[in-house]
Each structure stands twice: as structure tokens, then as C-alpha cells.
Amino acid sequence: MIQLDKVTKQFNTANGTLTAVDNVSLSINDGEIYGIIGYSGAGKSTMIRLFNGLEKPTSGSIIVNGANITEIKGAKLRAARHKVSMVFQHFNLLWSRTVEENIAFTLEVAGVKKEQRQVKVAELIELVGLQGREKSYPSQLSGGQKQRVGIARALANEPEVLLCDEATSALDPETTDAILDLLVSINERLNITIILITHEMHVIRKICNRVAVMEEGKIVEEGDVLQVFESPKAAVTQKFVQQVIETSGQKESIKQMQEQFPDGKLIKLFFVGTATERPVITQLIRKFNVEVNIIDGNISPTKSGAYGTLIVQINGVDDDVEKAVNYLAAQGIKSEVISHD
């Protein structure tokens, strides 16, 4: 369990005091994948350095696996840090060392004997899927392979917490998905707690159990990922969610439909969990004297279940359209009227 209680981190600058983390309290459960998302300047990078004691909070307490890292020093702090490893955005590999030598470096520093290092390195290479690249140098690897080396190296000391600081930001979408799948596999196989710092909602949606949204150093929203997708409250959260669910060409499709059917009611429907599999539109047409035009739709799977949106235009006399909308609400499907010309 990781607990932050009223944590604030301030820096003295030439322009005065900068509050990077502002009175943050949160709890992260053992073995979960927890996401922290925010735009540049939100305080994410400072936050992640607080988890492993690289930064000390100005006030508040941080408990990591029973150790208050805001108070301990010396050998106790070093021991606590060994249980918290980090994966970096730009890999931070040693370019003069091979894959296996990069992974072994952490074990060398820890004083692990050579035979034990070799066994551990072989296990980690298998874990991250780098068999056959043991003797390769970083310059001979793709971005995804470099990040796999970084992940293997971070796992060498058998940490209890893995911090990922924008670990997929330098990767293309396909490679990003592969690395995210690897992190899920590691989480399940090792039961390790993973904390992801990112500005990409796709990353949160794909693998996180819960998410905290940061803005100007504060946590403005927190909760289960599916819950946050279903009902984003803060404006910045709504913006992040919209980036994932809004498809390209959606606005143009809406405009064309409005021009073709100017009297229709334009509605966005929200589906959660098993509701994404129900033939709601078919039922709507059968029960009511309305015409339904599907404009755009998208289903986003999360670790807690699927979340989908569907933009439709319902045409008919006002009374029938109203009954159709009420029927959707009775089925537990949230809706939002976009326009009514």
C-alpha cells in the first residue's frame, strides 16, 4: 500500500515560490496498476520523484510499503528505494554495454555474485521477450526493444513498486500497445504495483485499474477508470476522455447529418459494460415510430469493462422522439442531447 497524506512540494525560484504538488492525498493498493495523468506542468514528474524519495515533500507524509520515506534516512532510505524502481521515457541505457550487461548493471552495483547475476539476467530477458538480443548494443535495438531492456533492468532488484515515467511517450502506437501489454503481464506474473505517469488517456484506458487526474499540482479527479470514462467531472478530465472516444471526421459527419435532417434530435449515447453488447437501437426502432441514423460510434475497452459512445439522430414527431429518449433512459443508458434544430 502506498499512501500520500496532504503532500505538498514547493520550489524556490527567481520568480518566487512554485508549488509543483499541492496538498495531494491518495492511496494506491498493492498489486494494482495506477495511472496519474495530466498535461505538461501539472506536477506529474515531481509527483513520481516523491514516491521513491528522490524529492522530499515540503509538507505531508508518504508511506511506501510501511516505510515513511519522508522521515527515514541513510541505509533505511536506500533499502526502501531498492523496492521502488523506475522506467524512464528515454530509456537511460548504457550505450557501451550490451543488453545483458545493461540488465546486470543494477545487480553488479548491489554486489550480486556473477553466477547469480547470469541466472537472473536470463530470467529477465525471457520475461521481457528479448531472447536472441542478449549481445546487442542499444544502438542496434528498436525503441520498443530499448524500453524492454529498461523494464528488465528496473526489475532486476525484485522491486515491489515499478514507476513508469512517460514510459511509452517516445514510442509509436503499435509499439506502445506492445509495451503496455508487457506491463500488464509483469503485473500479473509478479504481482508488482505499477504507477504510470502519462499525458495519454489511451495508456490509462488500456491497462490501469484506477486513475488520478492532475492539474496545477492538484488531484482534480480520481476513481476507477471505467467510472471516470463514464462520468468525467473536471473539465480537464472531460478533455482527456474526449481525445479517446472522439473519432476523426466525427464533427463533419454531424454537420452533414444536420444538413440532411434539420428537424432531427442529435443525441450522444453512453454505454458501459455489458450494455455495449445490447441491440438497443434495433429495439428502439421496433418499439417507436422513429427513424434512427447512426452518425458515429466508438467502443473503448478498459480493465474494468467496455465503455462506448454512439452518436445518433432520431427523426419523428416530437412525442415519439421524446418517448424513444425516455426509453433509453429506462434501459440505464445515459444520453446527452447535442443539438435540436
Q: What is the pLDDT of residues 54-67, one digit of tens each?
A: 899 999 999 988 88
> 62 and 193 share a domain?
yes
How deeply is 82 buried, as exposed, middle or buried, from its count of CB atoms within 10 A (0-12, 13-18, 19+)? middle
Strand partners, 37: 198, 213
CA gap 54, 5 in Å, rounded: 18
* Residue carrying C-alpha cell 442531447: 337
Whether residue 58 contacts residue 135, with contact meaning beta carbons closer than 8 Å, is answered with no
86 shares a domain with 125: yes
252 and 240 in a common domain: no
pTM, to two decimals: 0.85
Q: What is the pLDDT of residue 72?
A: 85
Give the pLDDT mean for 211-222. 97
User: Residues of the chain with pLDDT > 90: what percent?
Assistant: 57
Residues 16 and 133 in one domain: yes
pLDDT-wise least confident of 99-103, 185-189, 337-341: 337-341
Query: Are 308 and 251 within one domain?
Result: yes
Residue 249 has pLDDT above 70, yes or no: no
User: Pairing state of beta strands 33-37 and 193-198?
Assistant: parallel
Number of domains the chain contains: 2
Lowest average pLDDT, out of 60-64, 177-181, 230-234, 307-311, goes to 307-311
Q: Residue 1 in 3-state DSSP?
A: coil
**Do 57 and 206 belong together in one domain?**
yes
Residue 276 to residues 232, 270, 299, 307, 336: CA-CA distances in angstroms? 19, 9, 8, 7, 17
User: Phi and psi for 287 in degrees, rounded to 5?
Assistant: -85, -25
Residues 146 and 22 in one domain: yes
CATH number, residue 253: 3.30.70.260
Instruction: Specify whether 189 is located in the same domain as 287.
Output: no
Where in the sequence is the domain holding 324, given as residue range(s)?
246-340
At residue 341, does pLDDT exceed 60?
A: no
Q: Which of 244, 259, 289 is the last residue of a domain?
A: 244
**Single residue among 244, 261, 286 that ends a domain in this structure:** 244
Closest to 52 in 3D by CA, of 41, 67, 35: 67
Count, residues in the chain: 341
The pLDDT tens digits of the residues spanning 100-139 come to 999 999 899 889 999 999 999 999 999 999 999 999 999 9
pLDDT in the model for residue 253: 64
Q: Are residues 216 and 124 in the same domain?
A: yes
If asked whether residues 240 and 251 sit together in one domain, one would say: no
Considering the domain architecture, whether residues 22 and 170 belong to the same structural domain is answered as yes
Amino acid at 257: M
Residue where a domain terminates, one of 244, 269, 301: 244
Residue 116, pLDDT score? 94
The arithmetic mean of pLDDT across residues 156-173, rounded, is: 92
**CATH number assigned to the domain comprising residue 191:** 3.40.50.300
User: Do 119 and 35 have their domain in common?
Assistant: yes
As a whole number of angstroms, the distance between CA 327 and CA 299 comes to: 22
What stretches of the chain adopt beta strand conformation (E)? Answer: 2-13, 16-28, 33-37, 59-64, 67-68, 84-87, 161-165, 193-198, 210-215, 218-224, 265-272, 291-302, 305-315, 334-340
